Structure 1
Amino acid sequence: MDKAIIIEDYSMNWARQFEQEKIKLTEILRDRVQSIEHIGSTAVEDLGAKPVIDIAAGVNNLETVSEFIEPLKQIHYEFVHHKEFPQRRFFRKGQRRAGTHHLHFYEFEGEHWNNQLLFRDYLRKNPDEARKYHELKVYLAEKYRFDRVAYTENKAPFIQNILQKARPSEI
């Protein structure tokens, strides 16, 4: 059985954990990534989250990520192939369903990269929306305690709504 989904209160440790991990990743990936960003709920102050540090790394070409599989093993990242997400490459640190860090490679400044940052930045600037997102996540974590797929799918409409609000309006 999968591990229960638990939403923890915000921890200032999450930002520190990201900064420590960013140093390690930068040493290994050097100039082969354009940017390394803290994303997801742990990147938004005062927002509760599953205690997993989500990290986005931007690359010019996703095909180059295969070159990182072996070097990233040195700092305990395991490549996880997700054929249903061709727009990213995913690495996990820690056990399946109990990882401590999730490393997502996206095409730098591509749609998926931009959406991650847009969502994070909007929640950082709009505490009321962040609070609503927190309440939704707590509700879904109770409703789908052992079903991560349903938990994630049921967050999607809220996320899409935030992305609509966050995108610069076209004139």
Structure 2
Amino acid sequence: MAVTLAEYDPAWPLAFAEQRDRLAVLLAPRLAAPVEHIGSTAVPGLRAKPVVDVLAPVRSLDGEARAAMVAALSADGWLHWPDDPRADTRLWFLRPRPEARTHHLHVAVHGDARATSLLAFRDALRADPSAAAEYERLKSRLAREHPSARNAYTNGKAEFVARVLRAAGIPRPVLEELPESSE
């Protein structure tokens, strides 16, 4: 999948809010905390891949809960990725279809280390414009260097993300690192 960054779009928070409201109804009995807008589209002014990332913190991902959420979300048009290498700690979905995705949905147990890292990173960038600007420069450089290598692009951000998270008080951040060979 190509790495393409777009200028910040003020419609991203609206696209998130629409899905947040739908998810609050679909997952109501299972949500443990509010549905959150995460990722670069959640940071005002930041260039980003134009896909809105959403985090739904739930009480459990156990068998029955997992099956019920996959069924409810699939019926609402979310496409589940059953082969997610992190399927033991999250459910991952996209919409409307892989080649024209507008949203990613991460369903994780409330308080999960990776979900906590995602929220802390978003909050750190929102609170520190200089860190957000540095992150944007890094992302722009990586997108130029790896225009069709999504894993290399993602892995190239890892050191910066870890540094920001440590500064935010997360001593051992859980990062998304992808194998270089599965581009």
TM-score (norm. length: structure 1):
0.91
In 2, the alpha carbon distance for the partners of 1:5 and 1:119 equals 21
CA separation of 1:21 and 1:140: change in aligned 2, threshold 3 A: same
CA deviation after TM superposition for structure 1 residue 74, in Å: 2.7
What are the superposed Cα offsets for residues 19-74 of structure 1, whole Å, 9 maximum, x if unpaired? 01111111211231122100000001111100101000111212223211121123
- Which runs of 5 or more structure 1 residues have no equivalent in the other structure? none
In 2, the alpha carbon distance for the partners of 1:32 and 1:164 equals 31
In 2, the alpha carbon distance for the partners of 1:81 and 1:162 equals 31
Alignment of 1:47-126 (within 5 A): 47-63=46-62, 64-85=65-86, 86-96=88-98, 98-126=100-128
Tell me which stretches of 4 or more aligned residues in structure 1 moved more than 6 Å: none
- Which runs of 5 or more structure 2 residues have no equivalent in the other structure? 172-183
Q: Secondary structure at the match of 2:96?
A: strand
Q: Normalized per residue, which structure has more strand?
A: 1
Alignment of 1:144-159 (within 5 A): 144-159=146-161
Percent identity between the two aligned chains: 33
In 2, the alpha carbon distance for the partners of 1:97 and 1:133 equals 26
Q: Is residue 38 of structure 1 aligned with residue 37 of structure 2?
A: yes
The equivalent residue for 1:137 is 139
CA separation of 1:27 and 1:122: change in aligned 2, threshold 3 A: same
In 2, the alpha carbon distance for the partners of 1:98 and 1:105 equals 21
In 2, the alpha carbon distance for the partners of 1:28 and 1:105 equals 12
Kindly provide the amino acid, as one letter, of the partner of residue 139 in structure 2: K
CA deviation after TM superposition for structure 1 residue 84, in Å: 2.3
**Pick aligned residue for 1:28 from 26, 29, 34:** 26
> How big is the alpha-carbon RMSD for the aligned residues of Structure 1 and Structure 2?
1.5
CA deviation after TM superposition for structure 1 residue 75, in Å: 2.3
In 2, the alpha carbon distance for the partners of 1:117 and 1:89 equals 17
Q: Secondary structure at the match of 1:32?
A: coil
Q: Secondary structure at the match of 2:85?
A: coil
CA deviation after TM superposition for structure 1 residue 126, in Å: 0.2
Kindly provide the amino acid, as one letter, of the partner of residue 16 in structure 1: L
CA deviation after TM superposition for structure 1 residue 94, in Å: 2.5
In 2, the alpha carbon distance for the partners of 1:22 and 1:83 equals 22
The question of whether the paired residues in 2 share the 8 Å contact of 1:7 and 1:51 is answered with: yes
